[in-house]
Structure 1
Amino acid sequence: MQAATNTHSTQVLTQKIKLENEISSHISIKDRISRNFRKEKVHAISVYYDNSTNSKQSRFVKHEGKENVIIIADDIFGENQHEKTLEGNWPEAINRLVTETDKRVEKIDLTQLLECDFSTTTSSSLTASRIVLLDMVKAYFNLRAVCACGIPKVTLEGTLEDWTKLQEKVIKLRNLNLELDFWLNRLEPVIWKLIDTYRGEIDEEFWSKIMSLRSYGSGGEATITGWIAAFFPYDRTKNALHSNSLDRADIPDGVVEVPFTADIGSSFL
């Protein structure tokens, strides 16, 4: 008897055939099937429920019609700007979809029943079995992967007095009549919103519009929009900005140069 830890078992089926086949080399049944039936659907349960979707729905879920299943995939998906394609960790995306649908399938543990979880299982066969599972319940769910943007939590450093003092400085700067209203008109509302946030008065719409980056293709420069641009009165070439929008290449570098003379005795630098 072979040990239970063995990963395979080879047995002689008949003595009538030579073990060493001189006609053709060995090929696994799995490879033969996949080669000869490339587009055939052989998943019995999946086909069965495809043919009788509505009458079998109550065996799986309590809801009627289709329910939305949404996964957050911004950490595993990304857009290839050059190829205009979606790239990422597809096996993980499938795994997350299966996990979410399994929470809604209340009467049968489909994952345990249909997932390929044997000692010979590869990452590819595991993912394939999970896709079959999703195919089986696709009539009951709308599957969606979302590359969500945004910030779930923000920490404003300093004290409330610091932030109100900043607001007071903006007001005093305006009172100097330095013809900076084109900038302060954009900046002051942002400072007020930051003060409100510090006090716990959250404006979700405000925080959802920090920055957006838009590319227009054909070698065009990406444009930045959002209230983050309110902190820039001028662009890199010192042109006044009259809206919260500027090209990424025009973001000022913030470098300030001040010439000075150093007297170190007998020489000057």
Structure 2
Amino acid sequence: MVTFRVDEVSPATVGLPTRPLGELFGDALVFGGDPALPVLVPDGVHPLLDAVGRAFAEHRPLVLSPDAVWLTIAQGVAQHIRLHAEELRPRLVSHRGRRRLTVTVDGPMPQDAASWQDVVESFHKLLGTEVSDAGVFECDFSTSTDVDRVAGRVVVLDAYSPYFSLWLVCVCGIPSVTVTGTVADWQKIRARVDAIAGFGLQKWCRSLAPIVDQFVRAAAGEVDVAFWRRIYNPVDAYGGEVVTGWAARLYPYLRGQGVLERPNPLLELPIDEPRNVTTDGRGFYHGAGIRTDQVPATLSRATVNVNDQVAGENRTVALHAGLVGVAQDDNGGLRPVTGWYLTPATVEIDDVVDRIVRDHETTPPQPLHLLAAPAEVVALYQRIGSATLFDTWRLLPVAEHRRIYRGYDEQSLLTIIDLADGRSICAALDEETQSAHWILCRVEVMTAARSDEFDARFRLINHPADVPVYGTSLAQLLDAALDSDGDISHLETGRLNQLDRPTR
């Protein structure tokens, strides 16, 4: 660790207001790290740039770790991969679509940080058997904590999310800068900058290379003070609300039109530019730079599909990880801190319909007259009249739906999809509990002689104990099917007879 003077200013002596880190993520199911850690009240800016900006503007010391800098770079790589997934597919993977990575645990879905740390490590190991670049994203420095390591692994899972789905199966103006870490840590990041250039990021890496070179030099005690004075708003290019310093180059994409996909214009310039520019007479800056609101405090997100056979349900959760806030040391130094947490997540039917419309044959939606079906089904048919999936699945027009009554009028089956082998995907509806479960079964037309009710025109062929149940979400079922060319066997949560109420 090395600390060096940068600007000849007097350090601030009054601390900034803080709040416990855990309060920032009230919907967290599991939290990685210390939820009681005091962090600055967030302002929506990415924590690294926020720490640099506040340190610069308020004359506060700055602490930068290899983990904070590398996580910022790694998230930029992940965003680039997501934006160019198909272009990079031949470079990164050898398969089409999204391959399923499955981790199995004993008992219900874990509810503690240690168990989820193990789950993330297991997913990371599985990914490592599929791709050769997973280790590039690791936080494996002398400063790295367990929280840093988990965050780095969530970032790589996020980066490869276009190619893999995750399934968890449950069976039962700155006074000083402190650069932490060793010279070897920063040399490791420098080598990785050369490696990630192969992802089509040559332009970004032309900026990253000289920046990381300066971290290597500083860690070795060779401090280029002029370089560090240009970290945020260089004196000769003071852009008001615009950041023109080299810290802004750690972000390859900026938010524009609400989406994080606009290329950073600073990457077009040499590392020591812009120079000799300032605001005009009206206070406006017209040169290259970025606004802090273009670098949102977003985290990497890895969706995990949970097939909880213990609880008899499918559910979806999301791991969020990255730099989560700015902590204030006892001496007033500001440092970005790493964190991760787990939240509930939902596979949205509109997102699934987008995939179907984009990749499969569909017909336009038709007027829906008295469609008595779950909300997901109604939402589906508001956008699609029918569809053909994988050449073996046919999403039926509403007019071709078939209803099968079971025991009492409150319990029925509604066919939605027919498969080429004669089976159908049906909603098992229970009007009394207002629930819907998705099943795969065989249905036949009843002859008049066999029908004892005027509207009982169809019947279930299979015994209920032989009918698999695939959870309660049509969106999750379709999403899983789209990932695996129609294979939904990994979604099974039980059997139809387990849903039956006792006969009255």
User: TM-score interval w.r.t. the shorter chain?
Assistant: 0.3 to 0.5
Instruction: Provide TM-score, normalisation by structure 2.
Output: 0.23
Larger radius of gyration: 1
Higher relative contact order (CA 8 A, sep 6+): 2
Higher helix share: 1
